[in-house]
Amino acid sequence: MTLAGHNGNLLGLNQEELENLAESLGQPRYRGRQLYHGIYARWIRNFDELTDLNRDFRSALEPHKEIIYPQAERHFCSRDGAVRYLFRLQDSSSVETVYMPDEDRTTLCLSSQVGCAVDCKFCFTAMLGAKRNLTAGEIIGQVLGVAAGQNMVRGARLNLVFMGMGEPMLNLPQVLKAVSILADPKGVGITLRHIAVSTVGILPRIEELALAPMRPKLAISLNASSDEQRSALMPINKKYPLADLMRVCRAYPLRSWEHLMFEYVMLDGCNDSDDDARRVADLLGDLRSRVNLIPYNSGPELPYRAPEFERVLAFQKILTDRRIPTFIRISRGQDIHAACGQLSLSIG
Ligand code: SAH
């Protein structure tokens, strides 16, 4: 299969687009539905495997169209079972995806952009700067590419989290297109309850997400307890300060089964005091929320450190005493730089 500059990749096309393609090749529209099922539900990569498709259609597709997964250029295996994949894309830029197996469910941490424009001061991906948005096909390709690399069986229990490289809300149309195929029972078939999108809080995009017909769960990277602190760590806070963020969060239409998730990276001496915890509790108040405390994963180029574990526990207790469910998330794959915020092509 050729890679460079190929624009005949079917991966990322939705059912309607594949039906249109079938029609444009003189075939009935349902042939497009068969193709959709083959690509996303059966994970086929060669038209030969589509034996339910008629021969005419297959030979009409073959000269121009392909099903191309991103190429797993390298992968790194952690002692804890996590695997970090470096995928080479068709324009030869790269993204990273993390595979994290667990007893009952495997989590895939997906990237939504090459690099990131948001410039959070503690994050290694930020050091890459903004490169480009991923297409829906490149997002779905991370899922199917890891599935192929790990010999996963269809129907495997998966969680998808958009917590890799990039700010998903700055690529919302392609993220939502990918989600609509990933969550479609006739497509990849991972239910929306098992897909989460994490954002620094791009407020107009959160309001847009609220209206999406196929809406994943929402996680907000809070990371600080006051505007002053948050603006220093996350300059985006100057544009979307805490009061506005919390107003949008309170208006967000949660489904009956859903909590709003808040991530809070714990940075030693920076945002981890008892007063910080109290301010976080005040901010969240009676919102139906869950907090994930993420002790910072450090790396060579940035000065931040994780607090002592006792500090993390004390912070957690203040929140749980205020009846805010709060969990400590120890990132997987730290030994291979696959942990939260460590994804960066300059490392490894
Ligand atoms: N841009 C989105 C998606 C990335 S998610 C967002 O920020 O939400 C990555 C999560 O890891 C975010 O909550 C981020 O605050 C956190 N993070 C970034 N760098 C980290 C680091 N070095 N250690 C721990 N968490 C980190």
Q: Long-range contacts of range 96-105, CB-CB < 8 Å, 24 or more positions apart?
A: 96/164, 96/165, 96/338, 96/343, 96/345, 97/142, 97/145, 97/146, 97/164, 98/164, 98/332, 98/333, 98/338, 98/343, 99/146, 99/149, 99/150, 100/332, 100/333, 104/157, 105/157, 105/158, 105/159, 105/194
> To test the ligand 1 pocket, which listed residue (123, 175, 200, 302) has its Cβ within 8 A of the most ligand atoms?
123
pLDDT tops 90 at residue 55: no
* pLDDT score recorded for residue 126: 86
Q: Cβ distance 89 to 70 under 8 Å?
A: yes
Cα–Cα distance measured from residue 288 to residue 63, given in angstroms and rounded to the nearest whole number: 53
Q: How many CB atoms lie within 10 A of CB 33?
A: 16
Cα–Cα distance measured from residue 101 to residue 122, given in angstroms and rounded to the nearest whole number: 27
pLDDT tops 90 at residue 198: yes
For residues 127 and 341, the model is more confident at 127
Q: Note if 340 is an active site residue.
A: yes
Q: Which atom in ligand 1 lies closest to the alpha carbon of residue 304? A: 22
Region of 136 please: left (phi>0), alpha (psi -120 to 50) or beta. Answer: alpha
* pLDDT score recorded for residue 345: 61
Cα–Cα distance measured from residue 213 to residue 176, given in angstroms and rounded to the nearest whole number: 9
Task: For the chain, list the domains and their CATH numbers.
Answer: 1-68 (1.10.150.530), 71-336 (3.20.20.70)
> Where does the pLDDT of residue 323 fall: very low under 50, low under 70, confident under 90, or very high at 90 and above?
very high
Tell me the CA–centroid distance for residue 63 and ligand 1, in Å.
43
Q: What is the pLDDT of residues 220-267, one digit of tens each?
A: 999 999 999 999 999 999 999 999 999 999 999 999 999 999 999 999
pLDDT tops 60 at residue 8: yes
Q: Which atom in ligand 1 lies closest to the alpha carbon of residue 298? A: 22
* pLDDT score recorded for residue 51: 85
| pLDDT, mean over the chain | 92
Lowest pLDDT segment from 43-47, 102-106, 326-330, 341-345: 341-345
Which residue's alpha carbon is nearest to atom 20 within ligand 1? 341
* pLDDT score recorded for residue 28: 94
123 touches ligand 1 (CB under 6 Å): yes
Residue appearing with tokens 């941490």: 109
* pLDDT score recorded for residue 138: 97
pLDDT-above-70 percentage for the chain: 97
Q: What is the pLDDT of residues 110-123, one digit of tens each?
A: 999 999 999 999 99
* pLDDT score recorded for residue 312: 98
* pLDDT score recorded for residue 268: 97
pLDDT-above-90 percentage for the chain: 79
Cα–Cα distance measured from residue 79 to residue 339, given in angstroms and rounded to the nearest whole number: 13
* pLDDT score recorded for residue 6: 47
Record the tokens describing residue 181, joined without a space. Answer: 């195929």
The torsion angles phi and psi of 84, rounded to 5 degrees, stand at -100, 125
The torsion angles phi and psi of 199, rounded to 5 degrees, stand at -140, 155
Q: Note if 77 is an active site residue.
A: no
Record the tokens describing residue 215, joined without a space. Answer: 């809406």
